[in-house]
Structures are given as structure tokens and as C-alpha cells.
Structure 1
Amino acid sequence: MSWQKRTVLVALTLIIILPAAVIGGGWLWLRSGLPQLDGAVTLPGLTSPVEIATDRNAVPHIFARSQQDAYFALGYVHARDRMWQMDLNRRIGAGRLSELIGSAGLRYDRLMRVLGFQASAEASLQALAPEVRQALDSYSAGVNAWLGSHGGPLPLEFQVLRYQPEPWKPADSLLWGKLMALQLSGNYNDELLRARLMQKFPAETIRQMYPDYPAGAPVTLASDLTGLEFDRLHASLPPPLGPATASNEWVVSGERSGTGKPVLANDPHLQLGAPTLWYLARIEAPGLSVTGATVPGVPFTVLGRNDRISWGFTTTGSDVQDLYVERLDRSDPGKYLTPDGPRPFELRTETIKVKDADDEQLVVRTTRHGPVLSDIEPRAVQAAPEGHVISLAFTGLSDRDTTAEALWRLNRAPDWEGFKAALRLIQAPQQNIVYADIQGNIGFYTPGLVPIRRKGDGSVPVPGWNDEYAWTGAIPFEELPQDFNPAAGKIVNANNRVTSPDYRWFLTSRWDDWYRAARIEQVLEANRRHDVDAAEALMRDTVSLAARDLLPLMLKINPVSQNAKAALDMLRGWDGTMSRDRTEPLIYEWWARELHRALYADELGPLFPEVMSASPRLVLHILTKAPQWCDDVTTADARETCEDMLGRSLDRALVTLSERHGSDMTKWRWGAEHRAPLAHQVLSRVPVLKDLFDIGIETDGGNHTVNRGGSSIRDDGAPFSHIHGAGYRAIYDMSDPENSRFMISTGQSGNPLSSHYGDLVEQWRDGRHFTISGTLEQVTSESLGRLTLRPE
């Protein structure tokens, strides 16, 4: 072989081998950062050794000799397994996202700086009891011990974004609560939408668009800015449809469970992603025995059980945010009007660091009601008349928030009275909390601050220059909705209406749809014994009562095309089960989506994408009580009927489905559209990496099934992608608490290179669960490893 050929061969070999070697070496280097699960490590900050046995599902069982050492260990394992998630959440809450991703993060950073979450979290530390602050200190010490001692590189996200996390501080742990309060209390967005609708439609038209909560649906316990009168608006404008969040919870008494003790089930529904929000952990220490769902960055168990009680959450949806239109002083724009005369805005300047760009200086203005939103929110600018600004009053902005202490006390509550004493400290967000104990009691409480308004219901922006619409206090804790050992022997809530119409206080006019609650009630009534196995089966239930309700009305058409006839034949024989392998759910859901567009997109025009919802409430109302909406207002020479709109929308749906899935209707599958992407916040946006770390999976269920597969039908590209649902599921057996069952949607590790990053996905999809129990020796015998943390 000539030297020229040898040179070419060597060069080609190097071109092939060197990149592979670099990639392989980089892969091995990154994997060297995976956590140590076995052996011992010596750390500063501990007082006694702590044993951490990591079971086969990668759940840590922490055995400590003091509660403070237990919190230290939890901080250590949270950082070990989820440091990137922890750091991202605190950066979002502190308004420091732009430091990592550049100007794309400014929208979020501006909002967080205006709301002042970082400052209020730091101030709230002083409102907590000393023992709670000590727990936060111990937890932070554990996080920082891992940061200072871990071997190998930090997880891949830190390498991609090229930065090191800062030490953890106690106030960082309180930021998550602020973010949740905002996420679960987003009704100020509804107010802005209503304000824009009011500029286009009369009140009666808007009222037709938003039908009231039906009388027979499940109940858990049983001046002038735009030329319209505020009193009339409050009386006539129901809220936008469609839940921002959703969850299920139910509890049955010992008589209904068949064991003599209660069974409690809970699966909170939030945005799905990888890693999931929740992290399972068990803590055993003197005076503290708690198992369940923690949140990385927070030392207290949010959902779970101790050795005497169990509890679960759903969101109440109460209106705890109001927008006030503040009138500026004409002679001095640096002041706004109050009943006592002009008052200067409180001012502070926030410096936002932006990657690859200059720092941004943001001047934040605050009124007596709260921060000025219209300085950063374009929709608020549109809603504010000239010479006015819009400020936000929100229960989640308190700088003396004791919600974290409520969790600390809830983890230790021995009984109903201790449970209530803990809940008294919850401020935001308001939650529906179910309860069960080993004595056989069940209960329900909805703690949280809910404003009492002098006038109005918080549905639209109101004048802020007088006190006509002022908050005069909060609903007394003793008068919040509650129940204890009801005669029915069961309590059910799935974000449906909590109180009957004669309840004294106003909570909200935005009650979510009732279908999940109705299905849970239906199954509980049909089965005489509701034990842990029955609860597990109900969590898997994929029957859509919404489809059973709406479909008979949709089927009342005379199809013309063969495809339409075939589709209707399929749907007539369908029982509403949302199985991923069936064709009918795909046809039904796409038809319903097109029907929403056909019925009211013509009237709403550019506002349609913001109002469009998966809720069938409006469609049912139009087809049964308001057929005038079926007329297409853009066709002046014709008057369409509801049958016309049903036929057109079905034809459009079938054409679209053929384009997306082929012409053979028998091969269409719900799972082809209904897939949980479980996307990573960063890596899913990076070519190659997004496919390499894809743990997405086809799923059953839909927006209105107990096994909820929530989607956003406003997304034209993937309207039925399963992006919202039960990231955590638990069933608590109070006859044998160690028989309680748990599951999360991804895996315990947040490191994409770990085998526990997505190892629970299939079990989660299929509705399976596992127990978290056993002595230290029992767990160790079948564990992934036993790590001893030793004091320095």
C-alpha cells in the first residue's frame, strides 16, 4: 500500500474514531457524576450518623437519630438526585432565569421581580417558628454538603448551560410555595380576558358563552371605566371555562372500605415534564415518621402520611386575586389617587442580569393594593384606560406567609385537632384537603386566605381610587368549608364545586367541570367494598362521562360521506372509554374540537384562541338551549343550524385525521395523538439530545376521565398531547399504613444519564403502584445501596 493510501486510511480512521472516542469519553465522564448510593461519606453539619437505604425504585429511606439530621439528609438526597430542578425552580421564583438563557427569560423575570417573591420569601422566614427555621437551616446545610462534596461533574444541564449552582439558602425553599400559589391562583388572567371581551360584546352575549354550574352536578359539601356599569358586570359575567389545574381525591370510611379503617386516594394533576415535580421519600426520626411526596428544594412532605394520619390535596380554585384600576394624579403622574388624596407609588429598582446582553433596570411601582402589573403585562395595558394603571391584590404576596410551617406541623399531626391546627397556618394557595386516621375518622377542610370584598366578586378589574371594592378581611378559618365523619361515609372532590349555593361566603364563580367527580361518585356507589385494590382500579378508570353526555347530541345528524357514516357507526357503539388503542376517542375528541371552532370562532374572531376550551359545557348549552350560536355570522346570505355545524365539523375533523394518520380509519389510534411527552425543560430543546433522552409514552384517558390525560386543544400542532395530569398517585390504607401505595410519573433521578430517570414511566402509565415501608434491615436487603452519612 502506498504511503498516500496509508495516509488517507489513517485520516479516515481518525475522523471516525476520534469523535467517537471524545463522545464516549464525555459520556463516561458525565456518568462519573452519578450519585454514590453505598458506603459512607463524612460531612460537616451532622450531629449523628444517618442511614439512607435506597430501595429498588430509588426511593430513599432515611433513618436518623434527630429530626434536624433527617432534614439534613433529605437536603443531601434532593441535591444528589435533583439539583438541576431545584436550581431552576429557585431561579424562576427569584426572577433570575435570564442569567441562564438570555433575553428569552425576561418575560418571566420581570413578572417575578414585580411580584417580589424573593423579598417576600426572605421576609417570611421571620414569621416562622424557631423549630421550622431550624429545619430549613438543616435542610440547606444538607444541600450545600452535597454541593461541596460530590464527586465527578455536575449533571448534564449544568454542562450545557456552563454554570455552577450557588449555595442553597433557607429562603430558597420558600420560593416554591410562592410559585405554586401563583400557578394555582391565576384568576387575574381571567379578569384581563373578561375586560377584553367586554370591549367587544354586551354582557348578555358573554353570559351565553359561559353557562352556570348545573344544579344537579356534584358538590363536595353539599363608577365606570369602559362605559359599562360595574354592578351589572359583576352580576352577569361568569368566568372563562376550562381548568388551569386539576386533581382527584376521595376518602371512604372503614365501613365502606371493608377493613374497618379508611382508605384515602389522591392524585394531584399539574404540568407534566421530566423530571416530575414530585420526589418520593421516607423519613424515620424520633418524633417524625412521614412518607410520601416531597418537592426537591422543600424539606417538608407535601402529600403523604405519618404514622397516624394521611392527607391529600386538590385545588379549590377560589378567587384570591383582584385587579384594581388606579387613577393617576393629573398634576403628578408619580402619584395615584386614594380616598385620602394622592399618594406616591412605592418605588424600587430591580437589576436583571441577562446572558449575552446588557443588564436591564426595571423600576417596580407598588400601590396600596399591590404591585403595578400594567408596567410589564401588555394585556393589562390594553385593559387600562388612558391615565390609569392596573395593580394586583393577591393573597400569595404576603411577607409573613406561614404556609411552610403548616406543612411542618401537618407532617407531625396526630389527629383531627392537630390536623386543623396545622391547616390554620396555610395562607396560599387555598386547597381542598381530605383526611383519614388510624382511629377510623375521615374529614375535609379548605384552608387558605380568601378575601372578603366590600362589593363585587373579583371577576373584572375594579376602580382602585375609592374603597368601594376593597378587601375588608378574610373568611374566618372556622367558617371555611369543612366536614368530619359525614353520614355518607365518603368525601369526593375533583376540583368540582365545594359548597352549595347557600354557603355564606363567596369563594369563586369559576367551578371546574364535574365529570371526574361524578364518575368517582358513580363507581363508589356501584361497589359495596372500596378497599385499596378498588381505589387503585378507580385511579386507572378512563370512562369519559363528558363523552357520554355530549355524544348523543352530536350523533343527531344525517351524514353524507361514507367516511362520516363509518365514523358515526363507530361512535354509536362506543362506551366512552378513552383507551389509547381505540379509534373512537380520536374521532370524538377531534370532532368536538372542530365543533368548538364552528360554534363560536366566527363571533369571537381574534379572541377565539384565548377562549377555546376542552370543556363541553358551552357546547352542551348551545345544542340544548342557545341554538342561535350555530349560525355562522360570517355568511350573511344563509342561516346555519346546529345540524349543519355538527356535519361540517365532523367532515373537517375526518379530513384532518386522514391527513395526519392515513386514509384507513380502522388504523387510527387515540394513542397516536394522546402521548405524554414528559419533556425536559432544557434538553428537549437541544437537537440529538431531545431524542436521546426521550421518555415519552402513549397514554389512556382524556381531559374528563379520572385517569386524567389533560391536553391543550388550543395547540394546533399537538392538541391532544398529554401534558397535564397525575404526576403523583397515592392510596393510603389506614388499616395498615405500610400497605399504602405510591407512584410518580418519571423516575426518582433528575439526571438523564441515570437508569432511574424514566424507569417508572410504564408503571405510571399502566396505573401500577408500590409500597414504601420496612425496617432498615429489610429495605437494605433488597436495596440499590445503603449510604451512611457521618458527622465530620
Structure 2
Amino acid sequence: MRRLRRTILAILAIAAAVPLLGVPAAWLWLRSGLPDLEGTVSLPGLVAKVEIARDANAVPHIFAQTQEDAYFALGYVHAQDRLWQMDLNRRIGAGRLSELIGAGGLRYDKLMRTLGFYRDAEASVRALAPEVRMALEAYAAGVNAWLANRSGPLPIEFQVLRYEPEPWRPADSIVWGKLMALQLSGNYTEELLRARMMQRLPPDRIRDLFPDYPASAPVTLTAGLPDLDLDRLAAALPPPLGPATASNEWVVAGDRTGTGLPVLANDPHLQLGAPILWYLARIEAPGFSVTGATVPGVPFHLLGRNDRISWGFTTTGGDVQDLFVERLDPADPSRYLTPDGPEPFARRDETIRVKDAPDETLTVRTTRHGPVLSDIDPDALGAAPEGHVVALAFTGLSDRDTTPEALYRLARAPDWEGFKAALRHFQAPLQNIVYADIQGNIGFYTPGLVPIRRKGDGSLPVPGWTGEYGWTGAVPFDQMPQSFNPPAGRIVNANNRIVGPDYPHFLTNRWDDWYRAARIEQVLGSGRRHDVDAAEDLLMDNVSVAALELLPEMLRIDPSSSQARTALDLLRAWDGTLTRDRPEPLIFEWWLRDLHRALYADELGDLFADVWSSSPRLVIHMLRTARRWCDDVTTPDRTESCPDVLAASLDRTLAELAERHGDDPAAWRWGLEHRAPLGHQVLSRVPVLKDLFDIGIETDGGNQTVNRGGSAIRNAETPFAHIHGAGYRAVYDMSDPQNSRYMIATGQSGNPLSPHYGDLVERWRDGEHFTIGGSLDAVAADGLGRLTLVPPP
């Protein structure tokens, strides 16, 4: 019945999207745009025949006779399955979103134009090695071959927004990497937040709010820095591109796997949506074999394996951004001051087209440190004191970004030395990369540009005119964190701290929580053989070490009602596993959410909404060590204790949950609130289409479990919606690389009318994986079809 209902709604919605056609005709017409998976297509630009067999999971296996043709074919299948996603990503990176959606896109367009991502992408194409440019050009040719030779209509998103995509260019593939560098390196927003807090709270209180922040670190605004209207500046800049990032990776040596060769596991955590970011693909060509995760729009595998090595990524969280307050030359405001005297701004005008509105002209100024962020908006410019502007230094701003070359060479690396040689080209974003090979070696490397500062730690805006806080270069590649065949026989990272206090270079003072890493280490240290099946299980582990550590502090209260007694009894017997069918995770997580507000909202005031996030370590610190936070400063006539706060918070929690889910705590379920909506970027905003293409699903896990189900707890309506997590999971078996396992969160197709738009959702939720391998004939026989691309006669 559900499928029938969705079909009826589909017909009505599509008829509305294509009003010039009748209902059946609109449905059939849009479905005719689904890609051909069988047959022969003659395409200019090919050197020789290419065979593409899609397996039962719609994963393309590309068998080409030249590497250039392999990239052409990858561009072709990406366009077949994910054209809308590709076009949207390049528009965001190029600062051309307003052309589609109107003035609502201007804030991001102005930011992207100010950063100059697309200009840098165009210049970076010219800086790459010839073979890398070849791959980019062949990929673009494949995308454009599909655009020029398609027989049906474009996907429904293009019909709803009524436009056609432009031809693909190599720079379109590079600009996505710029977006990821920004999303994974958004430290400048933290600098602003920390500086705003310092205008309202004493230094010791700020240390409490960042409990792993070193006591010796600076906690006062730099002497000589003029007053900034930081609230105004923060409000004027667009919010971060996505939620906080997290990922897991580990690699285990062969003496612990049962096969004598390593097993490597990886699941990068990013924003979840439909279609998911990742697209699985396999390429076989002379001298080139690679399988794993691609991003539509980019010709290079980001994660995966070749026939000799495998690799996985997590984000380092390094501090690679600084805000510099520049002082204008009093005699000539078209110049700014430097230690060597006034220098002129580099200036350019950017014209932004806006749908249903006049064009906007943005004048971009750039200093020796970077682009001027306070020019983005009049409110942002007014936030800087008279005679000053705010500029951003960022390692991701480069017109000679060779990161694409690192990815190209990584997929071809035969061993550890080749792996390291490839990573020398890696610039941004800063990443932790684990390694395994068929010779039995395991390793870890953190490539990317890390600035060396003359002074300071990058935690606050600094004066730019003195030169004392400037960057003097980058940490040499050979001195970046690394490990090869460590005695422990395993390497684990889950965004936790990667170096000890003796490491000679500053990376960051804000490491992510260690709870996921602690759980992975706990399981790996249990003595159980860690084979591929065990790695799959660990990727889906739902035990919260944070909950187990925090619960004893929370349970030291007496119940105020029978409902509270039931809730406390449930939590006392709970093992800390966050499964969707149990009430305990819902009670604990909602209570923890409320505790944040109860403990420090009174001190932070209007800043609370910007600080509020799920941080068990912060609550533990306040309940154990910094108990003064339990006192409500808005009630000066009394002093609240931590048990007072805990009891009142639990009562509020139970009242809110009862209003949403009934009076019996034992009947509540985590899945009622913890649901992955997997919304579409456009169609989920259209009333009828939103329900039609809903592939959301209840899920396990939480913010601190290995099977991460990340939420934005400040969202009043859906504080525990699963919006962030492992859109891709993989386990690589170096004893038999074709036995490696894969899964993505939605489906291979980005077309909502395709049967492969959401066909993997339940399997992803339930922890299933599949292999990607086999001969061309075997894949074609068991799969969805065999498409042959040939050059013209």
C-alpha cells in the first residue's frame, strides 16, 4: 500500500512539475530520462571500446583499454546517475547559487566569491601534472558526452527549477575539494565565538567551557587589538556549510586478523542527505585498478583500494585558519598597513546574478594574509572598528592546489613509499590517512598544509599590521605526524588527538572527543580475532562510552515522582547501548541535552545557542570539577547544588518527552526521535514532493557511538534527527582485496524516480555490506546490464 500511495502521489506531483503534459505523459516522460544500462553507444572522444557492467547494487564496473577512456566512462556514469548533485556542488563552489534560488543564496555566493574558490580552481588546473590534467579533461568529456547524447529529459530537479546545466569543465571537479577544505577547516568561526565569549566571561570560566583547553594557553584578547563588534560580524557571515565533522578509521596488523594480512576499516562521517555524497565505482584499465568511493563531479577515488594497498580518511581538525584585523592607512584607505609600510589591496569586482532580482556587484579586497571577510556584507564591514577590516588566512586558498594530484597518485601507489610520495602533493583539507598493503604493512600519515605562526595559537583574531602573528611557512611534510608498523599492531583514529605533548609543531588546541576512539581501542584490545566480519560489527557498535562515564554523575539524585523513579531505574540497568527500540537512549540523550542548558545558559545568555552542542565531557567536567556552574546566576537569592540542577533537569526532560510520546517512560523508543531524514536538497522543500520521496528511517547510535548518529541538539523541533554520520562504510581485506566490503547510505542513483535512489537505506541502517568484484562477464550476468561505449566509426 505504501508503494501504491507513493506512486499515486508521484504522478500528481510530477504532473504539477511538468504542467504542459498530462499526468501519465509527465510520468512516462520523466522516467524516460533514467539512464540506459544496456546496449551500445557511440561517443566522440573515446580512444577504444569501454565496457560498463552494473552489478545488482547498481555499482558500475568500468573495463577500459586506456586510463583516459576509464576517466571518460566515469564522467559518463556520474552524469547518468548524479547530474543534479554535480551541478549543485559546482554552483555552490563557484558562488552561483543565487542564479537558481534567488536572494536566499546571496550570503553563500558572496562568501565563495570573496574566497575566490572557482578562480583558484581554474588556476590550479594549470598547475597540475599533464597526466592529472588529462584525467580531468577526459572526465569532463565523459560528462559532456552524456549531456550531448542523452535521449530523455533531464532529472526532475532541473524541471522544477526550469534550467539546463552548462557543459562540464575541469575546474568544476576541483572546486568541490575547496568546499570540503572549508567545511573541514572552519576554525575562523570558532575564533569569533571564543572572542565573543571573552567579552562576557572571565578567563577561568572560558577554560571550563573548553575543558581540554590547556591552562597555559592564552585566554585574553591580544594587546593592541581594537574592539570588534564580534556579534555583528558573526551574524553577518553565513553559517558553516555543514555540521561538525567526525569519522572513524583503524587498521589492524595481520597477526591479529587470522589471515596474516591487515584489515582496514573506515567510515567518514559527513552530512547525510539524498543522494548521499558518495558514489561507488570500480575501474579496471591497463596499469590501473581501483575500487571504492568517488564523489560525483570528481574523477578520482577518494577512499578505497587498488590491487596492492588500501587507505581511509578521518579529519584532523587542525587549526589552518586565522583571522587578521588589518589597519587601513590613515592617509589612503585604499591601502593597509604592514611592517614594511602601506600596501594596496588587491581588488576585483564580482557580478552575481540573482534570480528574479537585479545583479549584485561585490568588490573583493585581498590583503597579504588573505581575502577581506568583512567586505561580504555591510553589517560585517560595520563590525570592524573604523579604519580596520578583517581578513582570513587559510591554507585552502591556493591557486596552485595539487591535492587532486595527490588523489590521482594515491590510487596508483604500490607500497608505503609510493603512498607517501602521493601524499606530498596533498594540501587541504588536513587529513589523517591510514594505510595497509598486501605485504602486511600498516601505517598512518597526516598530510596537508599546517601553518607555522610567529606567535600565538590561532585561537583568536590577531592584529595584521604588526607582523608578529604572521605565518612563516608550513610544517615540512617529513615532520608531519606519521607511523609505520607500530609495535602495538594497530592504529586507531576517530578524530581524537593524534600527537602527544612532545610533538614539536602546533596543530590545534581543540581536539575532538575521544569516546569513539576509546571504544574502538577497547574492542580491539579484547583479544578477539579482528577479521573482516569483526570489523563490520565494530563499525556498527552502538555502545556509548560517554554515557557510561556520565551516568554515575547523573544518577546521584532521588526521584521526585513515580515517573522519575521509572526513568532512573531504567538508566541504572542500562548498558549504554543506543538502539532505536529502547527507551533508555531517549531518556539519557534528552536529559543530557537539557543539562547543557541548565548548567551554562544562564551565564552565556544569547551566546548559549552558538555554544550549545552535545558535549558529555563538558557536562562531566562541570558536575565533577567545576561545580560552580550548577548555581543559577539568575537567582542571586539562592545557591543551587548539582543535585538540584540534575533533579530539575530530569523533571523537565520527562515532561517534554511525555508531551511528545505519552506518560509511560518504558514505552518510549529512541527511534521515535532518532531518525535519519535523508532529505533531498530541493525536493524535500516542495510540499507534495517532500512526502513522495521520503526515504528517511529510524536508526541506532548517537553522537558519541562508533556507529555515529550525529544530531544538532539545538534544533527545537527535531533535536535528535540523525543528520550526520557514516554515509560510506568500508572494510578492506588485504589477504583477499576482492573480499573487501562496502556500503553507502542511500543508493547509487540521485534520480528520485530510479529504483536505486533509496534501495540501500535499510541495508545501510542494519549494517549490511557487499563486495565489489568479479569478471566483466560475471558482473554482467548477475547484475543490471552491460553498456558498451565505442568511439565513432
TM-score by length of 2: 0.94
Q: Which residue of 1 aligns with 2:234?
A: none
Whole-Å separation in 1 of the counterparts to 2:226 and 2:388: 12
Rounded Cα–Cα distance in structure 1 between residues aligned with 2:769 and 2:214:
35
Counterpart for residue 450 of structure 2: 450
Asked whether the equivalents of residues 76 and 143 of structure 2 are also in contact (C-alpha less than 8 Å), the reply is yes
- Pairing 1:761-772 to 2, within 5 Å after superposition: 761-772=761-772
Shift of 1:243: 7.9
SS in 2 for 1:763: helix
Q: Report which stretch shifted further, 190-199 or 764-773.
A: 190-199
What's the counterpart of residue 140 of structure 2?
140
Is contact 2:278–2:727 with CA below 8 Å preserved after alignment? yes
Q: 3-state SS of the aligned residue for 1:353?
A: strand
Q: Which residue of 2 aligns with 1:87?
A: 87
Answer yes or no: is the 8 Å Cα contact 1:213–1:511 preserved in 2: no
Match of 2:743 in 1: 743
Give the secondary structure class of the aligned counterpart of 1:396.
Answer: coil
Task: Tell me the CA shift for residue 25 of structure 1.
Answer: 1.8
Residue in 2 that maps onto 1:3: none
For residues 64-107 of structure 1, what are the alpha-carbon distances to aligned partners after superposition, in whole Å with 9 as ceiling and x for unaligned? Answer: 00000000000000000000000000000000000000000001
Residues 405-425 of structure 1: CA distance to partner in whole angstroms, max 9, x if unpaired?
Answer: 000000100000000000000
Q: Which amino acid counterpart does residue 28 of structure 2 have in structure 1?
A: L
The one-letter code of the counterpart of 1:761 is V
Q: How does 1:387-536 map to 2 (within 5 A)?
A: 387-536=387-536
Q: Indicate conservation of the 8 Å contact 1:196/1:383, yes or no.
A: no
Which shows bigger deviation, 22-31 or 414-423? 22-31
- TM superposition shift of 1:582: 0.2
| Structure 2 match to 1:358 | 358
Following superposition, the deviation at residue 501 of structure 1 comes to 1.1
Partner SS for 2:364: strand
Name the SS of the counterpart of 1:340 in structure 2. Answer: coil
> Using the alignment, how far apart are the partners of 2:413 and 2:72 within structure 1?
21
In the alignment, which residue of structure 1 is the partner of 2:299? 299
Residue 648 of structure 2 aligns to a residue in which SS? helix
For residue 259 of structure 1, what is the aligned residue in structure 2? Answer: 259
In 1, Cα distance between equivalents of 2:383 and 2:718:
31
SS state at 1:338 partner: coil
Distance, in Å, in 1 between the alignment partners of 2:483 and 2:732 is 19
**Letter of the structure 2 residue corresponding to residue 709 of structure 1:** G
Contact kept? 2:426, 2:447, Cα under 8 Å:
yes
The structural deviation recorded for 1:384 is 2.9
- Alignment-derived partner of residue 7 in structure 2: none
Specify the alignment match of 1:606 in structure 2: 606
Determine the C-alpha separation between the residues in 1 that align with 2:496 and 2:362. Answer: 40
Which residue of structure 1 lines up, in the alignment, with residue 538 of structure 2? 538
Q: Distance in 2 between matches of 1:64 and 1:437?
A: 25
- For residues 377 and 309 of structure 1, the distance between their equivalents in structure 2, rounded to whole angstroms, comes to 48
Query: Does 767-776 or 615-624 show the bigger shift?
Result: 615-624
Conserved? CA contact 1:677–1:695, under 8 Å: yes
1:438-493: CA deviation from partner (whole Å, max 9, x where unpaired) = 00000000000000000000000000001100101100100000000001100000
Q: Give the aligned partner of residue 272 of structure 2.
A: 272
CA distance in 1, matches of 2:717, 2:226: 37
Q: Which moved more, 1:528-537 or 1:374-383?
A: 374-383
**Unaligned runs of at least 5 residues, structure 2:** 1-14, 216-222, 229-239
- Matching residue's letter, 2:499: T
- Kept in 2: contact 1:293–1:303 (CA 8 A): yes
SS at match of 1:645: helix
CA apart distance, 1:19: 9.7
* Equivalent position of 2:706 in the other structure: 706
Matched to 1:476, the amino acid is P
Q: Deviations over 1:589-647 (max 9, x none)?
A: 00001110000000000000000110111111111111111000001111100011001
- 1:505-541, Cα deviation, whole Å (9 max, x unpaired): 0000010000000000000011331000000010110
Name 1:58's counterpart in structure 2. Answer: 58
Q: What aligned pairs does 1:204-243 form with structure 2 within 5 A after superposition?
A: 204-212=204-212, 223-225=223-225
Q: Distance in 2 between matches of 1:425 and 1:379?
A: 39
SS in 2 for 1:689: helix
Any conservation in 1 of the 2:243–2:724 contact (CA below 8 Å)?
no
Percent identity, aligned pairs only? 75
For 1:171 and 1:418, the matched residues in 2 are separated by: 26
Question: 2 CA distance for matches of 1:214 and 1:367?
Answer: 32
Shift of 1:265: 0.1
Distance 2:19 2:528 in 1: 64
Deviation of 1:331 (Å): 2.4
How is 1:167-182 mapped onto 2 (pairs within 5 angstroms)? 167-182=167-182
**Mapping of 1:271-290 within 5 angstroms?**
271-290=271-290
> Normalising by structure 1, what TM-score?
0.94
Matched, 1:184 2:184: yes
Once the 2 structures are TM-superposed, how far is the Cα of residue 377 of structure 1 from its aligned partner? 5.8
Once residues 23 and 672 of structure 2 are traced to their aligned partners in structure 1, the CA distance between those partners, rounded to angstroms, is: 33
Q: Is the 8 A contact 1:335 1:343 kept in 2?
A: yes
Answer whether contact 1:192 1:380 (CA < 8 A) is retained: no
After TM superposition, the runs of 4+ consecutive aligned structure 1 residues lying more than 6 A away are: 18-21
> Quick one: distance in 2 between partners of 1:357 and 1:383?
27
For residues 379 and 606 of structure 1, the distance between their equivalents in structure 2, rounded to whole angstroms, comes to 19
Q: Tell me the alpha carbon deviations over residues 98-124 of structure 1, each in whole angstroms, 9 at most, x when there is no partner.
A: 000000000110000000001000000
State the 1:383 CA deviation.
5.8
1:19/1:246 Cα in 2 relative to 1: closer, same or farther (>3 Å)?
Answer: closer
CA distance in 1, matches of 2:651, 2:288: 61
Task: Tell me the equivalent position of 1:124.
Answer: 124
Deviation at 1:22, TM superposition (A): 2.1
Aligned-partner residue type, residue 211 of structure 1: P
- CA change 1:257–1:427 in 2 (3 A) is same
Q: Flag the 1:383–1:244 CA change in 2: closer, same or farther, 3 A.
A: farther
Query: 2 CA distance for matches of 1:117 and 1:629?
Result: 43
Correspondence for 1:11? none
> How far off is 1:194 after superposition?
1.2
Q: How far apart, CA to CA, are the structure 2 residues paired with 1:678 and 1:350?
A: 35
Counterparts of 1:25-44 in structure 2, within 5 Å, are 25-44=25-44
Give 1:592's aligned residue: 592
Taking the aligned partners of 2:620 and 2:382, their CA distance within structure 1 comes to: 32
Tell me if the contact between 1:52 and 1:62 (Cα under 8 Å) persists in the aligned partners.
yes
- Aligned position for 1:97: 97
SS of residue matched to 1:290: strand
- Name 2:237's counterpart in structure 1: none
Cα gap change, 1:753 to 1:33, in 2 (>3 Å): same
Contact 1:192 1:379 in 2 (8 A): no
* Contact 2:583–2:666 (CA under 8 A) maintained in structure 1: yes
CA distance in 2, matches of 1:380, 1:624: 40
Relative to 1, partners in 2 of residues 1:379 and 1:203: Cα closer, same or farther, differing over 3 Å?
A: farther
2:543–2:577 Cα contact (<8 Å) kept: yes
8 Å Cα contact 1:543-1:576 kept in structure 2:
yes
Give the drift of 1:345: 1.2
Greater alpha carbon shift after TM alignment, 333-342 vs 695-704: 333-342
- The answer to whether structure 1 residue 784 and structure 2 residue 778 are counterparts is no
8 Å CA contact 2:566, 2:666 repeated in 1? no
Query: In 2, are the aligned partners of 1:195 and 1:383 still within 8 Å (CA)?
Result: no
- Any conservation in 2 of the 1:253–1:490 contact (CA below 8 Å)? yes
What is the CA–CA distance in structure 1 between the aligned matches of 2:420 and 2:764, rounded to whole Å?
Answer: 32
Structure 1 segment 723-738 matched on structure 2, within 5 A: 723-738=723-738
Offset at residue 387 of structure 1 (A):
2.1
Partners of 2:38 and 2:96 lie apart in 1 by 36
* 2:159 equivalent in structure 1: 159
SS for the counterpart of 1:57 is coil
User: Deviation of residue 386 (structure 1)?
Assistant: 3.0
Mapped contact 2:243–2:271 kept (Cα < 8 A)? no
Q: How many residues matched?
A: 758
RMSD: 1.8
Question: How far has the Cα of 1:226 moved from its partner?
Answer: 5.2
SS of 1:397's partner is: coil
Please tell me the residue identity of whatever aligns with 1:676: A
For 1:774, what is the secondary structure of its paired residue?
A: coil
- Report the more deviating stretch, 285-294 or 665-674: 665-674
Contact 1:192–1:383 at 8 Å: present in 2 too? no
